[in-house]
Chain A
């Protein structure tokens, strides 16, 4: 039953995947997500502000992420910003997507080695 539920979200949109991946650790605000994605991809993927919040809104509506009340240490906290974190469903969807991508990468590797040999 839950499997079918998860499959509904797959494959994840690239932006959704990046956002969710950024939230895999602790809660983040928009600026944090943007910076993390930028760093992780070596500056290749930039989430532009309006698109980022549009995606966040839709992720919330889909139940994949939620607003978080947990705040980081006060000296790091920016009170004006909203923090977001993954929901349980979101975490499972992220896992499923990661597995799917891994399988894909695995397939590519096998193909590459057989072709090379």
Chain B
């Protein structure tokens, strides 16, 4: 019984202060009075009940106190909506950006490939290799547990059985070696996956479909396995459905079909020309699973050795081993570089910290500004409420209780800000996922919000809310209350301290927002400079459209004949002025970067230019774009008749056109026309130089571009986006009908797709940049506004606190101007110091980021050298800050000395 009473007393002590103050003794007294009676009447169960009763009541009382705190906080926030709104918006923006960016980043860098077994063991090679190489890789049991070859972004024109008349749909898939699914460790949802043991060359064509294909295009038909599809005009049987969410090994370019390399070339034109057995046909991406115990490093080193060996053999087979043998021995760079294959986006390991670093800096700045703003506001609020708190302390409120009440305000703002942030992040992810990238192959990035990121931001919001309200609450309640009450509104007047907490916060805010403004400004300016594609003619008058006859069932010869005939026929149409073929629409993002080396001249060292982008264009391409050829000539019909594969290996130099950047990089100011260039074993002759065409994007690659002619081989095997036909006519939109009719008159079954005007195409590519620009610009401007608000708050607070001092000064004869200067001086010092710090910080940071990766270098270089930004941004910030200072400072001049002094 005594033991029970002891516990009872302990629990009674645990009640919240206010409750204890009133009922504490009563509760204990009553317990003591009844405990005997209860023990007699109910025994141990009664004592247990007595304890249980009080044990339950304690948390209930706390909850009810908390509810009251919250209600009080809500009322307080409603009373000062400006304070609440700024706090919520600034936190919300910070949280929103953090959540959204980290969700995307996480999805790209860290999320495992959906469906794959032990994705950490998967690697892919950055450079494509030939099918034969992958077969050799597979034999390295010590290094690899499995290896498969695949091509991604392979288009198929798909027809559905029982629906012969419908135009085939263009669907993207992977062309995979039968080991593909075994290497990934993917199990079928229905039917079977491909496997090396079952699928042999010469079998009837089969195909595995993705879950998405099954749902969207076959309406989740239960009998889908066993049905047939028409793929590029050939029949293939569906043998299995891949598991949900599996969209191929590189889901950035989602694959809906998985076609084995055992199918005939008629079904997959990518297989034409016996590429599976050609050692030099480097057209497959190796997807490998590392052997137990092997590391990415050791596998890379091992495969590099094998690749060198195989390269030598391959070149040896071609007949000129001697020269390239020397070349290969002298180059020490790795020929194989592996990327983690188990992520959604294969990003090189080394790049991960860089990407993370950049976003961490950006987000850190935003969060810092948002939190500092909140901290500053809460601090100011805490200080402003000193008197109220002192009174409440004096009449017996517990310090804990007051602190809790002030904290609940911070928590409330944090929660609301977090909710606003979530809504903002959701909106951003929607916006991003609706964005269409101007690419011929559909790209898909996962912008959906990641729960861990949401949780992280929310936790951070709460920590900010609690932390920054706790500090001023403790500070405000710790003081000796007597002077506060005695002195009235004045409180103790502290001398001006440059390094006080509040001033440091404002300083940090100004410096931080200037840094943010400058960095985003660099990017925005850089983007707009490098990213404005311009045409020398009305882009509305050029149509860009694609056809892909091989996938409409054409034979290679028939397709070649079509492409030789088509431009001529289109040119004969009434208003048409130019017709040109190209691998992709002009101003596209160019891929396939290689490194070019000048041929050794007498007395001159060889120059190597790395990462030169490649584009294949047809005859008359530059004329169609009204781009002047600066030297030499552009491609003509006869260039298209050269066969790259056969002629190239005989040592015939293929014609090549360089853009100015590439020409300058390789030859300096010398005339490049007629010079020889090599890339690996292929040699080229420069026949012309053109201006740099600005693409719609900023890419990390240098602007050097090499143009190669489209050849008969390309016509027989058009790229993923089909063959692009550019038609420029004098007539406006009427021309399209004529073009369509003309193509239909050649073959009504030829599918024409991706039909746009060049203007529309450019808009698409600009839209992406526009969104990025707006977002970064918006972030920068918001940081600026936040800083201004913070500064205004601090100045207003300072004025309010110095009312009495100002009153005395004015009573003693200070003019309004003098008083204004006095108040403004503090603000000016803060602004000046903050601006200098911010400017330095931005420069250091942009240097650091450019040094880490070349992705931002270009944007930063163009942006950072812009005087508009370097001078304009600090001026803008300083101007705004001064305004933010001035408005509340003006109030100081309105202080009536009589009133201010009488307030005592």
Q: Which residues of A contact B (CB under 8 A)?
A: 29-31, 34, 43, 48-54, 56-57, 80-82
Contacts and interface: CB of A to CB of B under 8 A. Distances in A.
A48 B50 CA distance: 7
A49 B22 contact: no
B25 interface: yes
A50 B54 CA distance: 5
Given A49-B54, A51-B57, A81 B29 contact: yes
Given A30-B26, A50-B57, A53-B26, 15 more contacts: A29-B26, A30-B29, A31-B29, A34-B34, A48-B53, A49-B50, A49-B53, A50-B12, A50-B56, A50-B58, A52-B30, A57-B19, A80-B29, A81-B26, A82-B23
A31 B33 CA distance: 8
B31 A49 contact: yes
B27 interface: yes
Interface in B21-64: 22-23, 25-27, 29-31, 33-34, 41, 49-50, 53-54, 56-58, 60-61
B49 A53 contact: no
Contacts of A80: 25, 29
A48 B30 CA distance: 9
28 contacts: A29-B26, A30-B29, A31-B34, A34-B30, A48-B50, A49-B27, A49-B31, A49-B50, A49-B54, A50-B11, A50-B27, A50-B53, A50-B57, A50-B58, A51-B53, A51-B57, A52-B30, A53-B27, A53-B30, A54-B60, A57-B19, A57-B22, A57-B23, A80-B25, A80-B29, A81-B26, A82-B23, A82-B26
A43 B41 CA distance: 10
B375 to A, nearest CB: 35
Contacts of A30: 26, 29-30
B869 to A, nearest CB: 61
Nearest to A55: B57
Contacts of A53: 23, 26-27, 30
A5 to B, nearest CB: 21
In this complex, the member of B11, B19, B29 whose beta carbon has the largest number of chain A beta carbons within 10 angstroms is B29
A37 to B, nearest CB: 12
Contacts of A54: 57, 60-61
B447 to A, nearest CB: 49
A104 to B, nearest CB: 29
A40 to B, nearest CB: 16
A14 to B, nearest CB: 15
A63 B476 CA distance: 33
B47 to A, nearest CB: 11
Contacts of B49: 48
Interface of B is mostly: helix
A49 B31 CA distance: 6
Contacts of B54: 48-50
A31 B35 CA distance: 12
A34 B29 CA distance: 13
A50 B55 CA distance: 9
A72 to B, nearest CB: 17
Contacts of A50: 11-12, 27, 53-54, 56-58
A31 B58 CA distance: 20
A30 to B, nearest CB: 5
Contacts of B22: 57, 82
Contacts of B29: 30-31, 80-81
A48 B52 CA distance: 10
A34 B12 CA distance: 18
A43 B46 CA distance: 13
Closest 5 CB pairs of A and B: A48-B53, A50-B57, A50-B54, A49-B30, A53-B23
A3 B33 CA distance: 40
A50 B60 CA distance: 11
A46 to B, nearest CB: 8
Contacts of A31: 29-30, 33-34
A31 B50 CA distance: 14
Contacts of B12: 50
A34 B11 CA distance: 20
Contacts of A51: 53, 57
B675 to A, nearest CB: 93
Given A57-B19, A57-B22, A49 B61 contact: no
A4 B796 CA distance: 48
Contacts of A49: 27, 30-31, 34, 50, 53-54
Nearest to A33: B30
Contacts of B61: 54
A91 to B, nearest CB: 23
A51 B61 CA distance: 10
Contacts of B25: 80
A29 B23 CA distance: 11
Contacts of B31: 49
A94 to B, nearest CB: 22
Contact of A56 (B23, B58, B60): B23
Nearest to A58: B64
B7 to A, nearest CB: 12
Nearest to A82: B26
A57 B33 CA distance: 20
B52 to A, nearest CB: 8
Contacts of B56: 50
Interface in B539-597: none
Contacts of A52: 30
A111 B49 CA distance: 38
B43 to A, nearest CB: 14
Nearest to B29: A80
A43 B29 CA distance: 21
A66 to B, nearest CB: 13
A30 B58 CA distance: 18
A82 B29 CA distance: 11
A52 B27 CA distance: 9
Contacts of B27: 49-50, 53
In this complex, the member of B12, B22, B30, B53 whose beta carbon has the largest number of chain A beta carbons within 10 angstroms is B30
A51 B54 CA distance: 7
Nearest to B52: A48
A62 to B, nearest CB: 13
Nearest to B53: A48
A64 to B, nearest CB: 17
B876 to A, nearest CB: 54
Contacts of B58: 50
A54 B12 CA distance: 12
Contacts of B50: 48-49
A82 B12 CA distance: 17
Interface string B678-703: 00000000000000000000000000
Contacts of B60: 54
